[in-house]
Structure formats: structure tokens, C-alpha cells
Amino acid sequence: MGFFSGLWNGVVSLAKSVGRVVVEGAKKLLGMSETTQNQVAERVEKVIVRERIIERVIPAEELGYKVLNSNRNINEFNSTSDFIKAIDAEIDVKKDELENLDLNKKRELKALGTSLYNKALEEAKDISIPIEFWKEAVDRGMSAKEIDFLINKFKEEGISPQDFVDYFKGNLNLIKKDLVKSAIIKAYKELEPNISEEEIEKKVMLERS
């Protein structure tokens, strides 16, 4: 699939309006299966709602549409969330136009909107959240609530969401691996005080002690 094919005047101009990090994040989302991408988008949107980062959270696909139809630049604003609020208020979605796009183009818009929401979340929480983190969490069947608790716990424990990805890739040393596992267990214990460590290990497919 051609990335953002035919929808605007090239990736370079898009990167200038929303930032190269957002564009790269969208590319990674498009590298996922359609099902996984949709699940990631749904989780990201729900976490944004849970954290009340933006008052009105529109579907990621519509946010991507608004980005493409806006002349605004993200650098004009103090935060990504302010940028999102502005283009949401200024741009109307032409529902018939959006609905008539082919599946690939809709996926591209959704990827762009999801990546932009993720950037707003990173800024609000002051923590880097790679797109791969969302895929890993989705692959393990984690809900938006569980993901939100986990990100907050990682922040509290000084652990990066990238460490979560590296944990399951086997890229961490023993000390870091134990720290990540401990943070995951703490997050689930806060969510479900009566859950056992063994149940958490089974649920998230952690390496057993």
C-alpha cells in the first residue's frame, strides 16, 4: 500500500504540519494488520478519554481527515492537544467524502489520527510511548483501562514503555526485566487487589519467577 497515496502533496509537507515523529508513527501503524491497527486506535482513543486530555475525542480517522484539510501547523500551538482542539473546531468532516474513500485511504487517515493522539498523550503524561508499545499491549489482550494503569505505573516507577516492548522481545538484562515485571504486577494489583501474581503472569504472559 502506498503510504498516504494520492491524499495530499507528499509526506514531506505533512511532516512539516504535524511533525516527522507523527508521520513515522503512522507508518508503523500501517505496518500492522488492519485488525491490530483498529484495536490500537480504539485503545488510544479510550485512554485519551480516560485521562481527559481533550474534551471532545473524535474517531482517529476523522482526526486524520481534519489534519489533511487544515492549513494549521502544529508548531503554532503550545501543545499537540491544543492543535487537535483547533483543527477539530475549524474543520468539518464531509461524511460522504470520508465514507467513499477506499479502505487503504481510510487506514491512512486513521493511522495519522492515532499517531497524533499518541503524541498528545505522551506530552500530557511526559513519557515516551512508542507505537510498538500499543501493539504489544493489544497482542496481550489488554484493555484501555489496563494500558492506562500500566503507563501510569511505568511513569511512577521510572520505567519506559519501550522497556515493556523489550521485555517481550527478550532484550533486557535480568535486573531490568525484574523491574518491568514488578511494575506490571503492581499495576494489575492496583486494578484488581485480589488478583494473584500467578494470574497476572498468565494474563499478560509474563515469565514466571
Residues 6+ apart with CB under 8 A from 96: none
Residue 78, C-alpha cell as written in the block: 503550545
pLDDT of residue 13: 63
Tens of each residue's pLDDT in the chain, 209 residues: 344 555 444 445 677 789 889 999 999 999 999 999 999 999 999 999 999 999 999 999 999 999 988 999 999 999 999 999 999 999 999 999 999 988 988 999 999 999 999 999 999 999 999 999 999 999 999 999 999 999 999 999 999 999 999 999 999 999 999 999 999 999 999 999 999 999 999 999 887 65
For residue 103, the number of C-alpha atoms closer than 13 Å in the C-beta half-sphere is 6
- CA pair distance 132, 134, nearest whole angstrom: 5
- CA pair distance 134, 99, nearest whole angstrom: 26
- Beta strands, E only, the chain: none
* Residue spans per domain, the chain: 1-126, 128-209
Question: pTM of the full predicted structure?
Answer: 0.93
Are 65 and 10 in contact, with CB atoms under 8 Å apart?
no
- Report the 3 state secondary structure along 98-121: HHCCCHHHHHHHHHHHHHHHHHHH
